[in-house]
Amino acid sequence: MKLENKIAIVTGSSKGIGAAIAKELAREGANLLINYNSDRKGAESVKNFIEKSAKRKAITCRADIGKMDGVKKLIGKAVDSYGRIDILVNNAGIAIWKPFFEITEEIWDKTLSTNLKGAFMASQLAAREMVKRGGGVIVNISSIAANGSMDCLVPYCSSKGGLTLLTKSMAVELAPYNIRVNAIAPGTIDIKRNRETDPKYPENWHPYIPIGRVGRVEEIARPVVYACSDDSSYMTGQIISISGGQTDYVPMPGSDFAK
């Protein structure tokens, strides 16, 4: 196993990509802190999977990653429960599709707080703990939206663009402390929320993807394991797209483009 007895936090791991990452880290031997904001049942089911199938430890923590109080609670719980942090995956994220002129200050603030500020705050507090233990790994879950050119996603694209430079600049400052920082940038991935927004989601979106299909959550989780393990020991400050070859443009679900 590549992550035997490592202590890992995955923000936003009650469902979707975060849940798959938490399970995959556990399969590789890590003990987990599962974070959620609203979906307690989802978080409990991920915990059950980790304990019963992967036979690793898992605890859950409700914390809003967009607020400093929430981040302090999350990092504090990991340290109180496990005594250290080896891996932080900044996965929690939201996407609110709105034409540019309909974006409110509230939408902007919520998106940037969750997707970018939360990653910064969690990284700063977790890195302080990693320094005490001689090092660690941070993985940010970005998006091909960091490359821009997406329809009706100005706050989201801005947050993921910011995550690119957060990743690169943290990597430089944290390298002397033996902390590696990388980002995995998914393309269009098959999650429940996307199917709710657009029931024909996989069929509608595959024309934009050279490989010809949307991705599965496990196809993001495996590269995250790579970024967390010693297999990538010489890699830091990198943004790795896992997107079936898709580079940037994505239409708004339900738009004429998507029909």
234 catalytically annotated: no
Cα separation, 99 vs 225, in Å, equals: 36
143 catalytically annotated: yes
Cα separation, 59 vs 37, in Å, equals: 14
Q: Quick check: 26 and 17 in contact, CB under 8 A?
A: no
Cα separation, 3 vs 129, in Å, equals: 18
Alpha carbon separation from 194 to 61, 68, 95, 179, 198 (Å, rounded): 25, 28, 10, 34, 6
- Nearest approach, Cβ of 177 to ligand NAP (angstroms)? 25
Among 6, 15, 27, 56, binds ligand NAP (CB under 6 A): 15
Question: In this chain, which stretch among 35-43, 122-130, 131-139, 231-239 interacts with ligand NAP, using CB under 6 A?
Answer: 35-43
Q: What track of x and - describes contact with ligand NAP for positions 200 through 239 (by CB under 6 A)?
A: ----------------------------------------
Q: Which residue number, 108 or 177, has a Cβ lying nearer to ligand NAP?
A: 108
Taking residue 191's Cβ as centre, other Cβ atoms within 10 Å add up to 21
255 catalytically annotated: no
- Nearest approach, Cβ of 42 to ligand NAP (angstroms)? 6
Question: In this chain, which stretch among 37-45, 52-60, 126-134, 196-204 interacts with ligand NAP, using CB under 6 A?
Answer: 37-45
Q: Quick check: 99 and 29 in contact, CB under 8 A?
A: no
Cα separation, 179 vs 196, in Å, equals: 38
Which residues have C-beta within 8 Å of that of residue 160, sequence separation ≥ 6? 115, 142, 143, 145, 146, 185
- Nearest approach, Cβ of 163 to ligand NAP (angstroms)? 9
DSSP letters for 45-82? HHHHHHHHTS---EEEEE--TTSHHHHHHHHHHHHHHH
- Nearest approach, Cβ of 143 to ligand NAP (angstroms)? 4
Query: Counting contacts by CB under 6 A, is residue 12 touching ligand NAP?
Result: yes
Cα separation, 144 vs 160, in Å, equals: 8
Query: Counting contacts by CB under 6 A, is residue 122 touching ligand NAP?
Result: no
Query: Counting contacts by CB under 6 A, is residue 147 touching ligand NAP?
Result: no
Q: What track of x and - describes contact with ligand NAP for positions 76 through 95 (by CB under 6 A)?
A: ---------------xxxxx
Query: Counting contacts by CB under 6 A, is residue 33 touching ligand NAP?
Result: no
The sign one gets for the Cα dihedral 187, 192, 197, 201 is positive
Q: Which residue number, 79 or 146, has a Cβ lying nearer to ligand NAP?
A: 146
Site residues for ligand NAP per CB under 6 A: 11-18, 35-39, 64-66, 91-95, 114, 141, 143, 186, 188-189, 191, 193-194
Catalytic site positions: 143, 156, 160
